[in-house]
Amino acid sequence: MSPTGAKQPSLAAQVSKAVVWNTAFVPLRLVAEVLATLVKLNFLSQAGYGLLALVSGANNGLGTVVDLGTARALPKYIPEVSRLGGPRAVLRLLTAVLALQLAVLAVLALGLATLYREPYLDALRRRVLEDAQLGPADRAGLLGLLGDFGWLVIGAIVALLLLGVCYDMLMAYLNSFFKQRAWNSIALAAGMLPQLLSVAAILALADGWDILGVLVASVVAPAIAVGLAGWQVLRLWLEQRAWEPEARTPALAPGTPWLPPGFVPYTGVSFLMTMTDFLASASFAIYLAGGVSDAAVLTAGAALARMALGYLYTPMVGVQVPLFTRVRQGEGGTLNGAYQSLVRLQLLLFVPGGVGLMLLAEPALLVVGPQYLAAAPIVWVLVPCLFLESLLTTAHNALIVYERLRIIVASRLITLAVVAPLAWLLPPRLGLVGVALAFGLARLAAGLWVTGSGVRLLGLRWPWRFTARVLGATAAMALLLLAARGLLPPLPAEVTLGVRLREAAWLLGLAMVGAAGFFLALRLLGGLDEQDRAQLARMRLPLKRWWLRVL
């Protein structure tokens, strides 16, 4: 109890509240990202968009090295350390992790600013020179930008690495205690500010300067987000000090290690996971593409699939690892019950969402711009791979919380074993589709392995009956979308941003019709499982009675 006599909420209440707050922020993020994506893909040149994607890929790769696996490990160890040693022990842990990451960052930044500055910029120049689709003016403009402002590209990467270290650590702290309202408020700012600032830069600056404006916006926005996250973490830390007075906080014995037992091997496995995630991602795959134009097309297709998956996954953000950790600590529920509840929720979102995206990929890309219609096959390839992999990684999260680290290592070695030969064999034969298949199948193979291992080692059971109901409802939704897709008005020859926004609204309306058809079919097939209906009845939701009647 707190000093005022209030009780801390139960585990089920914390998880339910986290899911609600995760979901509540989806519409704002969706509108901001759709608007920003339309502006970027229509006002930036295709080559400029591809160049920015290559810079972002380099930042993601270096960020994986600097992270050292701590972003995945902290949500597991922060609750454990807090329970055993209180806020002071958590502060020691975060201080040790931050010092190590900053040391690695300093080495990388020094190398990037001196020894590898020109080799990296030369590699970007080669991408521009080798792109046969570029006109002379676009080629000259990009080469001039890299020659005159290469230092800004390097500086932006280093600044983003530093801000990423701070942001990931602060957000991991909030995630560990299910502070989803604060987490989502900050994530909303972190997601919207780069988009809004980038849009402002693109619309306000002339050709050539717009790319530099987007680079500057990509640094300013996370700096603001880090400030917001720091303030929320400080408030939470002070609140926890009130929940756990000094008299009840275990004293730290002299010589107590700064890192808890098992933290180093756990982060080692997490680092392997993060590195293989990067190698099996679009951020790395674009370096297997041809010039900057091919990188732009691959990025556009992957971004559409990733954006849809990201929003559908939103209710799960920051929930799985802390939930499994608390179940293991005996704070409520069973492992298999938690696992099946998470899988059922994801099935409810991912299966109809993925099928709907595949059916509407071509109209959506036409709204983005006809030059990106070639990305439709990339969407058709990536959606089944990435959406299924996200479903299968629920078992992965349970295995890593229960420290079955050998299984996790094996799954990541499987990823490497699959992606390496496929990246060599498929792109020469299938082009960009082969690139997408290489990293998509590698992720799917690892997901199948960990799910089978979770069934064998932890007794996890897949909710097959609910899966069958969802598949049946999705089939009905697909027939409805196929029938209604032909009713979309054709795009005129001259397409303004306003027309594209109107067409996007039509697509959104069609998606809502498909969603309504899915839920109606699901209700006719039996709806939610009884335990999920009971959990929904206990949650504080707007229109709860309506949702219960529908589902």
What is the pLDDT at residue 34?
Answer: 66
Residue 415 tokens, joined: 């990823």
**Separation CA 470–CA 356 (nearest Å):** 13
**pLDDT tens digits for range 399-416:** 888 888 888 889 888 988
pLDDT digits (tens, 9 = 90+) for 5-40: 445 555 555 555 555 555 555 566 666 666 667 667
Average pLDDT value for residue range 423-438: 89
Name the strand (E) or helix (H) holding 503. Answer: helix 497-524
Q: Please, what sign has the CA dihedral across residues 198, 204, 210, 215? A: negative
Neighbours of 424 (CB within 10 A): 11
CA-closest candidate to residue 353, choices 392, 395, 311: 311
- Work out the number of other CB atoms within 10 angstroms of the CB of residue 276: 21
Please state, in angstroms and rounded to a whole number, the distance separating the CA atoms of residues 82 and 78.
6
State both tokens at 161: 């690495």
**Each residue of 346-374: pLDDT tens digit?**
899 899 999 999 999 988 888 777 778 88
- Range with the lowest mean pLDDT among 196-210, 451-465, 503-517? 196-210
Confidence of residue 317 (pLDDT cuts 50, 70, 90): low
pLDDT band at 3 (very low <50, low <70, confident <90, very high): very low
Closest CA to 111 of 180, 169, 51, 65: 65
- Over 50: is that where the pLDDT of 541 sits? no
Ranges 152-161, 283-292, 312-321, most confident:
152-161
Residue of 409, 407, 416, 402 whose CA lies nearest to 445: 416
* Cβ atoms < 10 Å from Cβ of 84: 13
The pLDDT value recorded for residue 6 is 46
Which one-letter DSSP state was computed for residue 316? G
Least confident of 4-13, 148-157, 254-263: 4-13
Residue 131 C-alpha from the chain's centroid: 30
**How is residue 518 written in tokens?**
């899915």
Element spanning 87, H or E? helix 70-113
DSSP string across 149-175: HHHHHHHHHHHHHHHHHHHHHHHHHHH
CA dihedral 537, 542, 543, 547 (to 10 degrees): -50
**pLDDT higher than threshold 90 for residue 176:** no
Give the model's pLDDT for residue 247: 40
Q: Which amino acid is at 416?
A: L
Give mean pLDDT, residues 420-444.
89
The pLDDT of residue 91 is 80
CA-to-CA distance for 507 and 515, rounded, in angstroms? 12
Predicted local distance difference test score (pLDDT) of residue 527: 78
Mean pLDDT lowest for which of 36-45, 262-271, 358-367, 454-463?
A: 36-45
Q: What confidence tier does 202 reach under pLDDT thresholds 50, 70, 90?
A: confident
pLDDT at 500 (0 to 100): 72
- What does the block give as tokens for 408? 């996790």
- Which pTM value belongs to this model? 0.73
Asked if the model's pLDDT at residue 293 lies above 80, the reply is yes
Residue positions counted in the chain: 551
Q: Which tokens go with 256?
A: 């107590």
Using CB atoms within 10 A of its CB, is residue 416 exposed (0-12), middle (13-18) or buried (19+)?
Answer: middle
Nearest CA to 447 among 511, 389, 363?
Answer: 389
Is residue 225 within 8 Å of 191, Cβ to Cβ?
no
Helices H / strands E in the chain, number of each? 20, 0
State mean pLDDT over 183-203. Answer: 73
Separation of alpha carbons 179 and 233, rounded Å: 10
Angle, in degrees to the nearest 10, between helices 432-458 and 263-279? 150
> What Rg, from alpha-carbon coordinates, does the chain have?
24
Q: Note the pLDDT of residue 491.
A: 65
Residue type, 155: G
Q: Is the pLDDT of residue 105 over 90?
A: yes
| pLDDT at 539 exceeding the cut of 60 | no
Cα–Cα dist 408/142, whole Å: 42
Mean pLDDT of the chain: 80
Residue 295 pLDDT > 70, yes or no? yes
Please give the span between the terminal C-alpha atoms of the chain, in angstroms, as a whole number: 36
Nearest to 67 by CA among 278, 218, 238: 278
Q: On the CB side of 333, how many CA atoms lie within 13 Å of its CA?
A: 22
Q: How far apart are CA 58 and CA 157, in angstroms?
A: 8
pLDDT at site 241: 63
Q: Cβ distance 39 to 203 under 8 Å?
A: yes
pLDDT, mean of residues 511-522: 90
